[in-house]
Amino acid sequence: MMIGGDNLGLIKEIIHRLTSGKFDRGQESDADAAAVQYVQKAGINPLPLAGFFNKIAQLDGGMSSSMEWLSTHPDSKVRANAILKQKFNGAYTPAVDSADWAYLVEACN
């Protein structure tokens, strides 16, 4: 209380958030693994999900290891690598046909 004075509640919240990040990152990793299982079950190739996380890693320049412990999410490159390490059955159908894909690409540009 000598350090925080009237801000003791704020200091407690900051300490809680700083120490709970690893748990949140574990939940995110579990969610990524579940996403891969769901898209595989739907017959959709999960490898583009790894590509998505690699693209995010390129755009944000990667997370420095000294700052990773503050994040509620695992590093994007780590997420991509975790997806690539999973086993895939390889029998996938495209989620959209080539004409729809071309339309989506054009709409995004």
Structural domains in the chain (count): 1
Backbone angles phi, psi at 23, to 5 degrees: -65, -45
Closest CA to 93 of 42, 50, 57, 22: 42
List the chain residues with pLDDT less than 70.
Answer: 1-7, 15-23, 62-72, 89-90
Domain limits for position 88: 5-108
At 90 the three-state DSSP class reads coil
Instruction: Tell me which residue has tokens 């999960």.
Output: 46
Residues in the chain: 109
pTM comes to 0.60
At 103 the three-state DSSP class reads helix
